[in-house]
Amino acid sequence: MNSLFDMNKEQAHSRHQELAAEIKRHDAAYYTHDEPEISDAQYDALRRELEELEKQYPELVSADSPTQKVGAAPAKGFAKVRHAVPMLSLSNVFSEEELGEFLDRIRRFLTLPENESIEIIAEPKIDGLSCSLRYEGGKLVQAATRGDGYEGEDITENVKTIKDIPLTLPEDAPDILEVRGEIYMGRADFAALNKVQEETGAKTFANPRNAAAGSVRQLDVEITKTRPLKFFGYALGQVSEPFASSHFEVREQLKRWGIPETAYTICASLDDLMQNYQSILESRPDLDYEIDGVVYKVNRLDWQERLGFVARAPRWATAHKFPAERAITRLNAIDVQVGRTGVLTPVARLEPITVGGVVVSNATLHNQDEIDRKDIRIGDIVVIQRAGDVIPQVIEVLKDKRAGDPPSYQLPDTCPACGSLAIREEGEVAKRCTGGLICPAQRVERLKHFVSRLAFDIEGLGDKIIRDFFAEGLIRTPADIFRLEEGNKASLTPIRAREGWGDLSEKNLFAAINARRDIELNRFIYALGIRQIGEATAKMLAAQYGSIENFIRAMNEAQNRESEAYQSLIAMDGIGPSMADDLLGFFAEDHNREVLQDLLSQVSIKPYDAPQTQGSPVAGKTLVFTGALSISRSEAKAQAERLGAKVAGSVSSKTDYVIAGEDAGSKLKKAKDLGVKVLSEEEWLSLINEKNQ
């Protein structure tokens, strides 16, 4: 290439064209697939060359030059959007039996008599990307991805290019209407897109889902515009005026307002549902879009509301997944991975094989018992299975294909990462590394967990980067993440100078980290990575203790198992003694306390944002239900939790109310002994209904 100063105007012109095209192509590779073909440093160099050229020859600056696009350089990422109503996920069933249990649970929760039928709407489960469309005054004002369910990404401009989606609604639509649905790509359109990608040398997509997601999550809206995307509506978010009393009515009304809808079937029994499932399964190959199951939803909206949600999924809906796909391949080796809490997990390395359109080369073997039970040995020919997003499994070994008598497999007695003893405690299935914090694998896994989506959610700190930064000593503990920028300023080898990095990606990384210096208490607790403390439990703890100071104080006090703090911890519904042991064990360790203190010097913790309990007379109160109520115990509990109350399993002096139904026994007595306020069911109902006046 000529140097800038050797070029004549004509050459400069043609180099400019070349560069602009190349940068656009790399933008596409980067934003479409999250899979750049060149390093950030190389990309930055291209942009700099372009900028230099334009400085020399200002006449080259045109409206569509990459230098004129949003800001100086495209920033990776979209603005965040907080969902007015969370966008949750679906539970799964895989068999008639599990489907029957789903229906039974609903019947029990609602205390419906055996002869009352539960109307269910069955609709296809199209695999794409979920999206919430928000209309205000009949106009599409915002479109957002699901994200972590509470906060998604603003993709309004991209979504406006999807022809299927109306930009305005008729006058009779509510003032505020959120339509949740799926953006997807049809089979034929997917094939055609991949053909074009192939011809133009661009990367092809593995499946229609990836193609849809990649096409929507484009900073360059022009690219989204060219992609054949479709949409169908499957649920509502926030709505200013209710307009339906059943899911059926919702779908029909949405259709009248111009929102695309798929076909659906109304079923009234398990038999109906199974028949419908069979017929959809049979028609699957003829559909012009790919589906991975059937979604069932309770038709009555008042029932949906009563049923509510458990953890991340509604009780009133489930997905009936199609049978998993299987394939036969060779198990070449067994590797051992060390998890965050030291668990050794054997992983099968397989001869790569395509299962349902996806190449599989690893499968989990779970633990030693599983290997023994299936008699899995290295070199075996095995049947593997892949169901949806679940990690592939080894189903069985084809024993007649076994060559000779290879030795049976035993997990090692020492940790492959740190060499510490690995032991399996009495009554446990897992073998664990005893190295604790000296084990680099555990520390890296903890860091990975710390930045993961439901924890600190730091974009840009992927698994590989964490591993590398840990190995180089840049990040050893969570607090180091927040000191990275400061240290980088003084560093002789700054991050931007590394292979695969550049000014832009360095800047973005620090921006992503700094954006998380304010973090919600529930995310913070979850991020600590304490054994057994998952996302839902972290949320319960955050709701119970409200602030980080209270939480830490309570954990310290509860070290004494005789204390009230301990009693109220284990009285929390869903926290048993074993979970309490893990939780308290974490706080008992000096090292953990140091890490925590260090971290608290870097971040500030927002008190837990309890879901929609404004004006609730029982928000933050601790209740105990006892005796027989007119609704099921699960419903009573769910209802109280929706109002921000905490439901405990046993009565203590911290209990605010005991709600006593018929035939209440020892808990009622204890409440009276302790002087805790006792309410009858009627008194309880009138208390919580006050807020609706």
Active site residues: 125
Cβ 679 vs Cβ 687: under 8 Å: yes
Please state the closest distance from residue 297 (CB atom) to ligand IVH, in A: 7
Please state the closest distance from residue 387 (CB atom) to ligand IVH, in A: 13
Binding mask 475-514 for ligand IVH (x = CB under 6 A): ----------------------------------------
The Cα 273–Cα 275 span in angstroms is 5
Please state the closest distance from residue 158 (CB atom) to ligand IVH, in A: 17
Given candidates 317, 382, 387, 525, which one binds ligand IVH under the rule CB under 6 A?
A: 317
Binding mask 338-377 for ligand IVH (x = CB under 6 A): ----------------------------------------
593 three-class SS: helix
142 three-class SS: strand
Please state the closest distance from residue 229 (CB atom) to ligand IVH, in A: 14
DSSP 53: H
Using the minimum distance from each CB to ligand IVH, give the nearer residue, 321 or 377: 321
Please state the closest distance from residue 142 (CB atom) to ligand IVH, in A: 18
Binding mask 569-598 for ligand IVH (x = CB under 6 A): ------------------------------
**What are the structure tokens assigned to 400, written together?**
């007649």
Using the minimum distance from each CB to ligand IVH, give the nearer residue, 131 or 538: 131
Cβ 251 vs Cβ 233: under 8 Å: yes
Q: Which residue is nearest to ligand IVH (CB)?
A: 130
Q: Which long-range contacts (C-beta less than 8 Å, at least 24 apart) are formed by 467-473?
A: 470/440, 470/443, 470/444, 471/440
Chain positions 197 to 236 lying near ligand IVH, rule: CB under 6 A, are 234-235
Pairing mode, strands 91-93 and 317-321 = parallel
Tell me the site size for ligand IVH, rule CB under 6 A: 14
Please state the closest distance from residue 32 (CB atom) to ligand IVH, in A: 20
Exposure of 260 by Cβ count < 10 A (0-12 exposed, 13-18 middle, 19+ buried)? Answer: middle
Please state the closest distance from residue 123 (CB atom) to ligand IVH, in A: 4
Q: How many residues does the chain have?
A: 693
Closest C-alpha among 280, 298, 299, 305 to residue 103: 298
Cβ 170 vs Cβ 258: under 8 Å: yes
Exposure of 155 by Cβ count < 10 A (0-12 exposed, 13-18 middle, 19+ buried)? Answer: buried
Give 233's strand partners: 181
Write the Ramachandran bin of 349: left for phi over 0, alpha for psi from -120 to 50, otherwise beta.
beta
**What are the structure tokens assigned to 318, written together?**
């489930």
Chain positions 107 to 126 lying near ligand IVH, rule: CB under 6 A, are 123, 125-126
Please state the closest distance from residue 309 (CB atom) to ligand IVH, in A: 8
Cβ 193 vs Cβ 127: under 8 Å: no
Using the minimum distance from each CB to ligand IVH, give the nearer residue, 295 or 530: 295
Using the minimum distance from each CB to ligand IVH, give the nearer residue, 295 or 465: 295
Exposure of 660 by Cβ count < 10 A (0-12 exposed, 13-18 middle, 19+ buried)? Answer: buried
CA 445 and chain centroid, separation: 18
Is residue 16 close enough to count as binding ligand IVH by CB under 6 A? no
Please state the closest distance from residue 179 (CB atom) to ligand IVH, in A: 12
667 three-class SS: helix
Please state the closest distance from residue 306 (CB atom) to ligand IVH, in A: 15
Of the ranges 33-41, 45-53, 84-92, 569-577, which one interacts with ligand IVH (CB under 6 A)? 84-92
The Cα 36–Cα 51 span in angstroms is 21
Given candidates 23, 53, 90, 106, which one binds ligand IVH under the rule CB under 6 A?
A: 90
Is residue 261 close enough to count as binding ligand IVH by CB under 6 A? no
Using the minimum distance from each CB to ligand IVH, give the nearer residue, 103 or 595: 103
Closest C-alpha among 637, 648, 645, 654 to residue 543: 645
Please state the closest distance from residue 69 (CB atom) to ligand IVH, in A: 31
Residue whose structure tokens are 């092809």: 204
Of the ranges 168-176, 203-211, 251-259, 312-320, which one interacts with ligand IVH (CB under 6 A)? 312-320
Give 382's strand partners: 329, 397
Using the minimum distance from each CB to ligand IVH, give the nearer residue, 262 or 532: 262
Which amino acid, residue 647?
V
Cβ 638 vs Cβ 688: under 8 Å: no
Of the ranges 11-19, 31-39, 70-78, 88-96, which one interacts with ligand IVH (CB under 6 A)? 88-96
Given candidates 144, 319, 344, 636, which one binds ligand IVH under the rule CB under 6 A?
A: 319
Pairing mode, strands 230-239 and 176-184 = antiparallel
DSSP 267: E
Using the minimum distance from each CB to ligand IVH, give the nearer residue, 135 or 234: 234
Closest C-alpha among 47, 78, 77 to residue 65: 47
Binding mask 235-254 for ligand IVH (x = CB under 6 A): x-------------------
Cβ 435 vs Cβ 342: under 8 Å: yes
Is residue 182 close enough to count as binding ligand IVH by CB under 6 A? yes
Of the ranges 83-91, 512-520, 540-548, 611-619, which one interacts with ligand IVH (CB under 6 A)? 83-91
Please state the closest distance from residue 191 (CB atom) to ligand IVH, in A: 21
Using the minimum distance from each CB to ligand IVH, give the nearer residue, 73 or 216: 216
Number of continuous H segments (helices) and E segments (strands) in the chain = 24, 26
Of the ranges 82-90, 160-168, 505-513, 630-638, which one interacts with ligand IVH (CB under 6 A)? 82-90
Given candidates 23, 28, 88, 527, which one binds ligand IVH under the rule CB under 6 A?
A: 88
Given candidates 147, 208, 314, 346, which one binds ligand IVH under the rule CB under 6 A?
A: 314
542 three-class SS: helix
CA 421 and chain centroid, separation: 34
Using the minimum distance from each CB to ligand IVH, give the nearer residue, 132 or 622: 132
Using the minimum distance from each CB to ligand IVH, give the nearer residue, 183 or 571: 183
40 three-class SS: helix
Exposure of 67 by Cβ count < 10 A (0-12 exposed, 13-18 middle, 19+ buried)? Answer: middle
Using the minimum distance from each CB to ligand IVH, give the nearer residue, 89 or 547: 89
Exposure of 493 by Cβ count < 10 A (0-12 exposed, 13-18 middle, 19+ buried)? Answer: exposed
**Distance linking the first and last C-alpha atoms of the chain:** 76
Given candidates 93, 295, 479, 640, which one binds ligand IVH under the rule CB under 6 A?
A: 295
687 three-class SS: helix
Binding mask 121-150 for ligand IVH (x = CB under 6 A): --x-xx---x--------------------
Using the minimum distance from each CB to ligand IVH, give the nearer residue, 235 or 569: 235
DSSP 246: B
Given candidates 89, 197, 332, 612, which one binds ligand IVH under the rule CB under 6 A?
A: 89
Please state the closest distance from residue 31 (CB atom) to ligand IVH, in A: 22
Of the ranges 17-25, 85-93, 542-550, 565-573, which one interacts with ligand IVH (CB under 6 A)? 85-93
Pairing mode, strands 393-397 and 381-386 = antiparallel
Using the minimum distance from each CB to ligand IVH, give the nearer residue, 229 or 382: 229
Residues that bind ligand IVH (CB under 6 A): 88-90, 123, 125-126, 130, 182, 234-235, 295, 314, 317, 319
